[in-house]
Structure 1
Amino acid sequence: MKVLIVSQYFWPESFRINELIQSLIKRGVDVDVLTGQPNYPEGVVFPGYRAGACQQEYWSGARIYRVPLAPRGSKSAIKLAFNYLSFVVSGLLIGPWMLRKNNYDVIFVYAPSPILQAIPAIFLGWLKRCGVIVWVQDLWPESLQATGYVRNPRILAAVAQVVRFIYRHSDLLLVQSEAFEARVAALAPGTRVVYYPNSVDSSFAVPSEMSLPDIPALKEGFCIVFAGNIGTGQAVEVIVEAAALLTEYADIRFVVLGHGSRWDWMREEVQVRGLSNVYLPGRYPVETMPGLMQKASALLVTLADQPIFAATVPSKVQAYMAAGKPILACLNGEGARLVSKAQAGLVSAAENAQALADSILCLYKMTDAERAQMGENGRRYFKEHFDQDILTDQLIDHFHAVSASSKGQE
């Protein structure tokens, strides 16, 4: 089985697709990757890469083909739009040339925003005469509107038509949340839609003995750890507000690991308010996160109070469950439902700082045994529903089915 994976985001950027590719290769799948120049999340191209370059390299047994990409920059909707469109254009014009000697059984698109990255994959599927599977991580155009990047109704309507084109020209659509199924199916008449959740590498459940960064804030007290992107969608304002409500509890501290478009705002707000219980040590390599999560008393996930985010399951929910720590879920919808169903932590409404502060105090006052039971509940639920080995086998089955179907239609 030879698979081309198309993803605007890939190693050395930290995304779920990295671990999935390693898992596929371990099962004997021959993997090529068509991607861009790494620049997420800071918006600056990583050292060793050039925005306008075409290059090939190897990583963990996968052949990587990188096309030119305009970096996303920082806090600029125009630069972000150019970033999205540059991958589409490079993928359409340069991707076929770089892959001209290669044939594939199936093309798989890892599709967080932007869904537009599926366009070159569909063209390549036509050229290579193979099926295309799109793994939908975000709902477009809803996510554009929810994050505030696009508000013009005409532009949103045009994007919806592009999304409809992508869905209709895919052979299989996988969705990361059960709540996505009906919404995606409404734009994809004739295309099969299947629930396929995110997972995480097994290291989150069994952290390695690797040396970890020295973060003094994690060494004492009741540490609430938020890990991941610090952006508009995460509504990190609620973290600052909850911290302000809990200043009298000297033992409770918030440790925010990560970076993103709202990191500077958080830092300034913490300084202005004089919040000594919030720590922003920055972003660390993804391989250190399992070990750092083990130092937490609880793990925090937040999302904005928007209908689109209520349908989304942040991939960190699976990571937190695997880590076996109690979860504080300040969000609505599917993510909250999973945490509650697994009895893996406490849930509060999205962007409700008082409710989040109350949940934190409730968890803080529990016994160690009660908190440990929540963590164990989450880990057990992860193994039953999100185990990476099981999900990788399911994905390979999808590859074979789509490949057989596309060959039968020739």
Structure 2
Amino acid sequence: MHVLLLSFYFPPDLSAGSFRMEALVTALQERLGPDSRITVITTRPNRYGSFEALAPAKQIQGGLTVHRIDLPPHQSGMRDQARAFATFAWEARRLVKLERPDAVVATTSRLMTGVLGAWAARNRRAPLYLDIRDIFVDTIGDVLPRRATWLLKPLFSAVEQWAVRSATRVNLVSPGFLPYFQPRYPERSFSVLSNGVDDAFLENRPVPHAQEHKATGPVHVLYAGNLGEGQGLHHILPALARQLGDEVRFTVVGDGGRRVQLQEALAALPRPTVTMLAPVKRAELITLYDQADVLFVHLNDLPAFEKVLPSKLFEYAATGKPIWAGLAGFPAQFTQREIENAAVFNPCDAAGAVAAFRTLRLQTCDRSDFVDKYRRTHIMNRMADDIARIGAGSPA
């Protein structure tokens, strides 16, 4: 079987989509066997301007071929992102026409990679497996100015309909997406396979209660991830640093469109209690997790983010460390229901965040049941089975 996979991000780039597709490729190789072919069309590492990683334009290893497309320099703005995707799509179309796949797989957060996958599947007359990691139509309605939303939302809604209805099988990364998709596409059934816990975070599982915080000295809180409008760290972290003072030392690892704004707000504080670091590779990130007392996650106070399920929750949970989470809607319910020793507060509510922080037990705990339930290898094996079935012409 020949599977063609389209993903804007792929290792060594740093993103949830990148690591998700790496795990899927491994699962497909095991599921399909040595005579299978997997072709990945992706980009050269470009997730963060402050992170550089060398990767060949074409990489062949056994039955796996990875094509990486060079993009023009870009930041986090919509115009830059559109230009970067246009470059990716133009080159990807050329590469797609050289392939004769039995199945096309597209993973998408900003919708357009899914649209590219729908075009590829139709052009090559192959079934499409569509993996949806975000509701782009919902997000632009919350993030963009009203005038732009009025113009763009109907257009992207129509594009979304075409992509979803072109797919043989549609997977959603969050159960919170179902109330959006099911009423719009009542004729479809959706699978729900989340990000899960990557094996990289399971090799040095913590001993429960072995790392209690010292009675003296500040609590070390770590945030690792994107620093964009969706995370809204610039709305909450300066207020928390001001209120907690020397009681807490924050480390922020990441980059994104709101990094400068966050740095400027932190620079105005009377005492520096926040350290900012550039994105790091996963091996270094795991070391930083191990050194922290508490792990922090936050989504902005916007309705679109009440449906998502942050991949960071799975990484954090695997460490056994206390989790301090600014979430609302489905991700808040999931965290409270599924993750022990996690304190949830309403996004952008500094007073509520401080109150939640006081409820945390500053020690590691055993989350083996959570890890076993959401192990990424199990989730990707199920996805690989679905892809193999549609590639073989079986009902989805």
TM-score by length of structure 1 reads 0.84
Percent identity among equivalent residues? 19
| Distance across 2 between alignment mates of 1:398 and 1:244 | 50
SS in 2 for 1:294: helix
- Superimposed CA distance per residue, residues 255-307 of structure 1 (whole angstroms, 9 cap, x where no aligned partner): 11111111122222211213422111221112322222111111111001111
For residues 320 and 375 of structure 2, the distance between their equivalents in structure 1, rounded to whole angstroms, comes to 14
Counterpart for residue 397 of structure 1: 385
Q: Structure 1: how far apart are the matches of 2:69 and 2:145? A: 25
User: Structure 2: how far apart are the matches of 1:188 and 1:387?
Assistant: 29
Gap regions ≥5 residues in structure 2: 206-216
Q: Corresponding residue for 2:9? A: 9
Whether contact under 8 Å (1:4, 1:107) holds in the other structure is yes
Counterpart in the other structure of 2:122: 126
Q: Find the counterpart in structure 2 of residue 243 from structure 1.
A: 241
State the AA in 1 paired with 2:122. Answer: W
1:126 CA drift (Å): 2.4
CA shift at 1:176, angstroms? 0.9
Separation in 2, partners of 1:11, 1:382? 23
Distance across 2 between alignment mates of 1:76 and 1:343: 34
> SS at the partner of 1:242?
helix
Please state whether the residue corresponding to 1:190 is helix, strand or coil: coil
Matched, 1:268 2:258: no
Alignment coverage as a number of residue pairs: 375
Matched, 1:36 2:36: no
Amino acid at match of 2:237: I
Alignment CA distance shift 1:118-1:297 (3 Å):
same
1:144-163 aligned at under 5 Å gives the runs 144-148=140-144, 151-163=148-160
In structure 2, what is the Cα distance between the partners aligned to 1:122 and 1:43? 32
Instruction: Give the counterpart letter for 1:398 in structure 2.
Output: D
Q: What is the match of residue 382 of structure 1?
A: 371
Equivalent residues in 2 for 1:261-410 (5 A)?
Answer: 261-344=257-340, 345-363=342-360, 366=361, 368=362, 371-372=363-364, 375-377=365-367, 379-384=368-373, 386-405=374-393
Distance 1:130 1:394 in 2: 20
Does the C-alpha gap of structure 1 residues 170 and 133 become closer, same or farther in structure 2, counting only changes over 3 Å? Answer: same
1:63 matched to which residue of 2? 65
How far apart, in 2, do the equivalents of 1:259 and 1:149 lie?
A: 23
Provide the alpha-carbon RMSD of the alignment.
2.6
Q: Which residue of 1 aligns with 2:212?
A: none
Aligned to 2:88: 87
Are the equivalent residues in 2 in contact too, given 1:179–1:312 (CA < 8 A)? yes
Instruction: Tell me the secondary structure at the aligned position of residue 13 of structure 1.
Output: coil
Q: Distance in 2 between matches of 1:279 and 1:42?
A: 19
SS at match of 1:152: helix
State the partner residue of 2:134.
Answer: 138
SS in 2 for 1:69: coil
Pick closer, same or farther for the CA change 1:41–1:283 going to 2, 3 Å: same
Task: Tell me: higher relative CO, structure 1 or 2? Use CA pairs within 8 A at least 6 residues apart.
Answer: 2
TM-score by length of 2: 0.86
The residue type equivalent to 2:151 in the other structure is: R
Moved more, 147-156 or 137-146: 147-156
Given that 1:43 and 1:74 are in contact with CA atoms closer than 8 Å, whether structure 2 keeps it comes out as no
Q: Residue deviations 1:204-252, cap 9 Å, x none?
A: 12249xxxxxxxxxxx7411111111111001021221111101xx241
- Within the candidate set 108, 112, 116, 2:112 is matched to 116
State the 1:147 CA deviation. Answer: 3.0
Letter in structure 2 aligned against 1:312: V
* Distance verdict in 2 for CA 1:300–1:289, change over 3 Å: same
Residues of 2 paired with 1:390 and 1:187: CA distance?
A: 29
Q: 1:125 to 1:18 in 2, by over 3 A?
A: closer
Instruction: Provide closer, same or farther for how the CA distance between residues 270 and 255 of structure 1 changes in structure 2, counting only shifts above 3 A.
Output: same
Counterpart-to-counterpart distance in 2, 1:141 and 1:80:
16
Distance in 1 (alpha carbons) for counterparts of 2:222 and 2:50: 25
Q: Secondary structure at the match of 1:246?
A: helix
Q: Deviations over 1:148-174 (max 9, x none)?
A: 378331211111111111111111110
Alignment-derived partner of residue 214 in structure 2: none
- 8 A Cα contact 2:294 2:321, kept in partner: yes
Structure 1 residue 67, shift from structure 2 partner: 3.5
Q: Residue 359 of structure 2: SS of its match in structure 1?
A: helix
Contact between 2:140 and 2:149, CA under 8 Å: does it hold in 1?
no
* Worse-superposed segment, 305-314 or 187-196: 187-196
Shift of 1:343: 4.1
What is the CA-CA distance between 1:124 and the residue it aligns to?
Answer: 2.2
Q: 2:358 is paired with a residue of what secondary structure?
A: helix
Seen in structure 2, the aligned counterparts of structure 1 residues 83 and 123 have a Cα distance that, compared at 3 Å, is same
SS at match of 2:195: coil
